[in-house]
């Protein structure tokens, strides 16, 4: 089942290409949608956040089914991220960078991953819940960073 976990990495790389290179524009959209965070949306932050996601995906390839709660947390992250891109496209009433790969790759791959391991009897409700919560927490990392930076900038300006 290594192919499934490898799929998380491949889908993530394709998603990042859509967001930043072809057609790109993710950071510009983020700045437009969240002007309060605009000063903190930059290339170094994008590299760190996306690098952490890629690192998670690589680790998951090696851990695989040995720890499904952890490994499927990557699937949960992709699922939540795909939903976030769909929400962004709805808010923009048009294309949002990442919405295609988020919708076509992230969401189906994530749902299939949970389904596959649940149907095979390897995934139980507790581990599925842990994976889901971890995926949500991972998605919150950039938001917490932006909120913290905004708070620190307010403190410094006083």
Structure tokens, 22: 């072809």
- Helix, strand, coil distribution of the chain in percent, nearest 5: 85, 0, 15
Q: Do 100 and 75 touch, CB atoms closer than 8 A?
A: no
Query: What is the predicted pLDDT for the residue at 8?
Result: 98
Query: What is the predicted pLDDT for the residue at 1?
Result: 72
pLDDT per residue rounded down to tens, the chain (158 residues): 789 999 999 999 999 999 999 999 999 999 998 898 999 999 999 999 999 999 999 999 999 999 999 999 999 999 999 999 999 999 999 999 999 999 999 999 999 999 999 999 999 999 999 999 999 999 999 999 999 999 998 888 87
C-alpha–C-alpha distance, residues 129 and 123, integer Å: 10
pTM as predicted: 0.94
Query: What is the predicted pLDDT for the residue at 157?
Result: 80
C-alpha–C-alpha distance, residues 152 and 59, integer Å: 32
Query: What is the predicted pLDDT for the residue at 19?
Result: 97
Radius of gyration of the chain (CA): 16
What one-character DSSP code corresponds to residue 120?
T
């Amino acid at each position: 089942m290594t192919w499934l976990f490898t799929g998380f990495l491949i889908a993530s790389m394709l998603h990042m290409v859509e967001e930043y290179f072809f057609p790109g524009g993710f950071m510009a959209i983020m700045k437009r949608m969240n002007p309060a965070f605009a000063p903190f949306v930059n290339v170094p932050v994008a590299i760190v956040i996306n690098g952490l996601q890629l690192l998670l995906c690589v680790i998951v390839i090696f851990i695989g089914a040995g720890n499904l709660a952890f490994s499927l947390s990557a699937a949960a992250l992709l699922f939540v991220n795909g939903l976030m891109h769909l929400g962004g496209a709805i808010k923009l009433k048009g294309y949002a960078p990442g919405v295609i790969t988020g919708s076509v790759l992230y969401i189906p791959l994530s749902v299939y991953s949970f389904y596959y391991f649940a149907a095979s009897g390897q995934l139980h409700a507790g581990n599925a819940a842990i994976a889901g919560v971890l995926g949500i927490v991972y998605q919150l990392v950039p938001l917490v960073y932006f909120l913290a930076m905004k708070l620190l900038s307010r403190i410094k300006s006083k």
